[in-house]
Structure 1
Amino acid sequence: MIIVQLSKETIKRIKERSASVGSSYSKGACLNSEAVRRKNSKPEDPWLRPPFFRDIDRIIHSKAYSRYIDKTQVFYFIDNEHITHRSIHVQLVSKIARTIGRALGYNEDLIEASALGHDIGHTPFGHTGEKYLDVLCRKHGIGGFKHNIQSVRFLDKLEECDLTLQVLDSVLCHNGEVTDCCITPERNFSWEHFDKKLADAEAGSDPSPATFEGCIVRFADTIAYLGRDLQDAIEVGLIDESLDDLPEDLRKLMNNNASYRDINGLVIDSFCRDIIETSIDTDCIAFSDDVYSLVLELKKYNYKKIYENHRLHEQDYKLELMFDTVFDHYLLDLESENSSSLIYSDLIDSEAFQRSYIESLKPPEIIRDYIAGMTNSYFESVFKKIVLPERKFRDFG
């Protein structure tokens, strides 16, 4: 068997380059040496694969990450291959956040891991699916449902990823739906503090990130969806491409004559430059007051024209029925201990997931995790299997 080893000279040069990267960080950047894991295990060759870089690998090799490919962002009943799915969204967040982080001198590995993992807990059918699963979770006495908390469950409990506290904290605190003007990190890297933040988030709070890198990812999440969702809405014909009713300040951002195809790039470039200019050599990550007003204006426009558009939600009653049906079906399977049910083979008896965690859950919590992990197409296939009669081949043999 051939085992490839690096020479001592190569290792020395890699270590020197790694040290030079760390020395170029800004004050307040999260250093690789500050990484904390629950198991306190020392990874091999940290100079070759630093801890946050290793977290990137663990996330992209997780089963939950592979399911991004068929989880839609906003438009879930549209057959159009050019609209954004979660797999694209998290890459956009990563790229935007790394652009800001590189300019400001923060840890890009921590930023990338946080960005790639931040939406892993999203349900099928986006925020609408999250809304219906939230109702069902409350109905069955297990609290509400929030995708950021579910992301932590998937990465820290269901799959044995053993990620760093800093990455899990960024995932928990990524809330891009809340638009901040300025965020100052907490800089507390204890598991006791993180577990309290997680419990507070389950109770309804909106915790702040522990690191500058986490703050950047939170801003990048907002930037990534505002322009891209507008571009997607035009792509599927929900908004006219002339954008005649676009607010005047946003028209100025587009130079009054730019094509709608340019708007996403202009939003990303303008907002990133503003954060970099406003945040450099400060103790926070922030928009300027003028650009923050523009962000709020664009968000208000998107809500009116896209997220609350009745055309987008005209079939939601069917989706609500689907969630109710699937949840109730698997609850009955668990109560009757129907071991032939898919929930056993896919989740409970699967060797891919931590049995000790699953055994600690109540039946509604097991179903919560099962549904939250489904892709759009798998959720639809499960629903059809539940409600449609199974056709036999020729006879009952």
Structure 2
Amino acid sequence: MTQRRFGLDQLGPLPTFMENSTEAVTPFEAPSGDMVWLVRGYELGRLVLADKRFSRIEAVKDHSPKFMAVQPAPDSMVSMEGTEHQRLRRVVMGAFTRPRVDLMAPSIERLVVQHIDRMVAMGPPGDLIGGLALPLASGVLCSLLGIPSHEDARFRDLVEVLFDITSNTSKESLQRRVELVGFMATLTGRKRESPGDDLLTSMVRLHDQGKLSLSELVTIGLTLLMAGYETTAGQIGLSAHALLSDPAEYERLRGNPELLPLAVDELLRLTPATPVTFARVATEPVRLGTVIVAAGQAVVVSLMHGNRDGKVFTRPQSYAPDRRAVPHLTFGHGAHRCLGATLAKLQLQVALAQLLRRFPALRLAAGPGRPVVWKEGLATRGLSRLLVEW
């Protein structure tokens, strides 16, 4: 099998700080204007993500250096550590076990088929982002949480600014955050009046039992919506784009659908929707390779570079789904590893499987205009347009 190379220069726009240095640990000026250490190596990245000397709690305090101007709330799961972090994870982790996720497979497949049918009815060219990736990711989350599908559009309008790492004003970000909190508070109120068999209802019950504060309930709901929507939609688009850039591999997977799970993992490794982690702040001096990170300094891990570490992955820039299984870093590592990894992989696998089955000759659209338009300035990577013909 010919292995196609996917270098960083072929993956769309990347922040400048991810392109400048080749050092395993290097300082850079973050979008916030603060100095932050960037960790590029796989093993050092895993160390940072699992070592308690690198604190998420410290990273969201006012005095700490920041990666982005907009930070997750201090009472968010992604900001907590220790027993409080584990308490909040336990509230939702039951919804993301493999057996529970497997039960969602038929409904996810129905959603994918529904969106593809709509694209076929409209005729080519079709947009895989607006026509499939975005509505699938939001539809699955709405089903999981028990949110009416007609609320999708409002949520999408509110959420993207919170991922913006460019110079959006703090006033605009604060306004969107306030609107999102109000959005989630209204939804939880409705669940109290009309409970259902969904995650939001179960969280409302925990709140009523005194096991979850209202602030925690709202913040957990927002965390799940924002983390699961933008990254999953981005990953579907990025993976489809990578396959369409390699027609031979697209055809190979069409003829050998049993290879798709391996291909999905390789696509996740090569082209992750999340290029870097949230920042962590050192609570004491820590040696990372040849560098001493001082107490109070911030560190982010480049998941994209860690996934391409030549000390760990053979031919790291090449697409090779039959490579030796080494866990990639796309879903993180340690106590904050992504809770929704299994659900995200299932959506990605079902979406790609249906594309392969329904469209034997799927290809990037020809003609005037740009079939591929990349998002820029976001903490997550992705496409805003991916026009295809069949």
TM-score when normalising by structure 1: 0.25
Tell me which structure has the larger Cα radius of gyration. 1
TM-score when normalising by structure 2: 0.26
Higher helix content, 1 or 2: 1
Q: Which has the higher contact order (CA 8 A, sep 6+)?
A: 2
Higher strand content, 1 or 2: 2
